[in-house]
């Protein structure tokens, strides 16, 4: 784990936490943190499948914000772990609305990083009337071009990781890595899905930060959630039409937004943040010159906290 950036607020425990059954298969874990009478903010984690961390509560002033966090379908403490069936972007958007209604929230600030930025945009474009604004990090628009970069383009920077990732698949199947990995991970045989899930999670996890970390963050929960759900969503192009999030950004362009992007992010390269900013000129783009992808990199964490503090003071971003 990287050192915890000093810009974060102190550790805090949830006011409430629980489980919400959303269909016959999935049950979601949720938390409510901070001021129960404060400005509501929704936190959307990455992945898909990465789940929550206790550090995610710390981007917000708990005296000002009522912070709602949850593990998306198949992630973290939600059950069943790694379940890809009945798991689409449209269903996640419905889950967010269930949570909003459960907490009796009319509007909230939407905060999401990486896949969380994807889901934040998709939710906002579907329910713009429920959003106060957006804080988005490490933009991922879930296009075929970005998915190809994630799987193959990164070879230019991490050839050794790419070889390890590719070599985990028999040579005859390497022409379509996403198919080869999903065939293994989306099955019920643990002897097939565990090696693939661990290989996938390692392939991503070792390039999150600009500088190598002493200890890799890994666990069975993270590996299975990320491996299964990322491959499932990427194989289906996020359940979006072509470039849907950019084409529909006009639905939320009247709302305030800050985009925080690491200049050397090799998971979600800066071109996606730049494209989003071009389509949404009113959004504020904060390009962090000495950061990769991780939310806990010092420069990124500092900009994220600065954004929530600015929204606290002004109700907008400048």
Q: Is 201 a catalytic residue?
A: no
Task: Please identify which of the residues 71, 95, 223, 265 carries the catalytic annotation.
Answer: 265
Crossing angle of helices 177-185 and 220-235, rounded to 10°: 130
CA gap 199, 34 in Å, rounded: 37
Contacts of 256 (CB under 8 A, 6+ apart): 132, 133, 134, 282, 283, 311, 315, 316, 317
Say if CB 72 and CB 94 are below 8 A apart. Answer: no
Active site annotation includes 293: yes
Task: Report d(CA 93, CA 63) in Å as an integer.
Answer: 28
What is the Cα–Cα distance from 244 to 240, expressed in whole angstroms?
6
| Residue in the block written with tokens 């499948």 | 49
Options 114, 117, 231, 272, the catalytic residue:
114
114 is catalytic: yes
Q: Which two three-digit tokens encode residue 216?
A: 């890799």
Where are the extended beta strands (E) located within the chain?
16-21, 27-34, 39-44, 65-70, 108-113, 131-137, 257-262, 284-288
* Alpha carbon distances (Å) from 296 to 265, 269, 299: 13, 17, 8
- The tokens for 289 are 């010159």
* Four-residue CA torsion sign, 215, 203, 84, 92: positive
The encoded tokens of residue 291 equal 């950061």
Catalytic (active-site) positions = 114, 265, 293
């Amino acid at each position: 784990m990287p050192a915890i950036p000093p810009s974060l607020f102190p550790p805090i425990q949830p006011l409430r936490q629980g489980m919400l059954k959303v269909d016959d298969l999935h049950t979601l874990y949720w938390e409510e943190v901070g001021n129960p009478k404060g400005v509501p903010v929704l936190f959307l984690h990455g992945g898909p499948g990465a789940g929550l961390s206790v550090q995610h509560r710390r981007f917000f002033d708990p005296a000002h914000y009522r912070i709602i966090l949850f593990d998306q379908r198949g992630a973290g403490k939600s059950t069943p772990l790694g379940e890809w069936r009945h798991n689409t972007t449209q269903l996640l958007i419905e889950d967010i609305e269930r949570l909003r209604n459960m907490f009796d929230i009319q509007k909230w600030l939407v905060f999401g990083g990486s896949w969380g930025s994807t889901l934040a945009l998709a939710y906002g474009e579907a329910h713009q009337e429920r959003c106060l604004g957006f804080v988005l990090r490490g933009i991922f628009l879930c296009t075929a071009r970005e998915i190809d970069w994630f799987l193959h383009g990164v070879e230019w920077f991490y050839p050794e990781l790419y070889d390890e990732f590719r070599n985990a698949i028999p040579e005859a199947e390497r022409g379509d890595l996403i198919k080869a990995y999903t065939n293994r991970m989306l099955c019920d045989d643990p002897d097939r899905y565990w090696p693939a899930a661990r290989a996938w999670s390692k392939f991503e996890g070792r390039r999150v930060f600009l500088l190598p970390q002493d200890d890799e963050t890994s666990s069975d929960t993270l590996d299975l959630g990320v491996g299964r759900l990322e491959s499932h969503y990427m194989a289906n192009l996020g359940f979006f039409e072509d470039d849907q999030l950019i084409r529909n950004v006009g639905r939320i362009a009247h709302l305030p937004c800050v985009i925080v992007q690491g200049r050397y992010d090799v998971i979600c390269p800066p071109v996606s943040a730049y494209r989003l900013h071009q389509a949404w000129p009113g959004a504020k783009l904060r390009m962090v010159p000495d950061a990769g992808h991780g939310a806990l990199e010092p420069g990124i964490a500092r900009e994220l906290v600065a954004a929530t503090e600015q929204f606290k003071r002004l109700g907008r971003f400048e």
